[in-house]
């Protein structure tokens, strides 16, 4: 069966909502407040993981900039694209909703409390072009709690 036929027959998971499209994620790059908030938060999460491992330092390719990040084998890690690249944002955010669905499917857990916030597969975090800058950042703050909670599984 060719790819077009497989896509036509693909089962769409009714429990799982795509929280962030690539198009919307890409649009955030034009909003400095959202772009910098997200980059700073993801960079902080990466630092929490890699600094204790001795893998956090100056970008070896650009020693004239104060640009700290993940260094693997004395080279700037591709992980550093996670803080600024829109495709990485889409993947990370969508996996958070997938995590909530899988908790329910695999363990029967309908909700989980992370850092004082209750999350449920029934109330997934869905981003929209209609969201204001404030609403987007508030949703990002919430979903980043899941990212921080699952950081080792996401980034190691």
Q: Express each pLDDT in 7-18 by its tens digit.
A: 566 555 667 777
Question: Of 48-52, 80-84, 122-126, 131-135, which range is least confident?
Answer: 80-84
Axis-axis angle for helices 133-149, 86-107 (nearest 10): 60
Q: What is the pLDDT of residue 139?
A: 96
Read off the pLDDT of each residue in 77-83 and give the average, rounded to a whole number: 81
pLDDT at position 3 = 58
Over range 4-28, report the average pLDDT. 75
Distances (CA, A) of 57 to 62, 69, 81: 12, 5, 15
Q: What is the mean pLDDT of the chain?
A: 87
């Amino acid at each position: 069966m060719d790819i077009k036929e497989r896509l036509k027959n693909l089962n769409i998971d009714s429990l799982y909502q795509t929280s962030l499209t690539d198009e919307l994620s890409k649009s955030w790059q034009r909003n400095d407040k959202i772009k910098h908030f997200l980059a700073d938060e993801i960079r902080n999460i990466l630092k929490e993981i890699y600094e204790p491992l001795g893998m956090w330092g100056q970008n070896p390719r650009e020693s004239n900039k104060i640009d700290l990040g993940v260094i693997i084998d004395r080279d700037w890690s591709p992980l550093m694209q996670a803080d600024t690249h829109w495709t990485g944002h889409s993947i990370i955010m969508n996996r958070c909703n997938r995590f909530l669905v899988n908790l329910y499917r695999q363990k029967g857990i309908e909700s989980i409390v992370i850092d004082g916030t209750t999350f449920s597969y029934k109330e997934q975090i869905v981003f929209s072009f209609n969201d204001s800058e404030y609403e987007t950042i508030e949703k990002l703050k919430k979903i980043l709690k899941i990212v921080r909670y699952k950081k080792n599984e996401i980034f190691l």
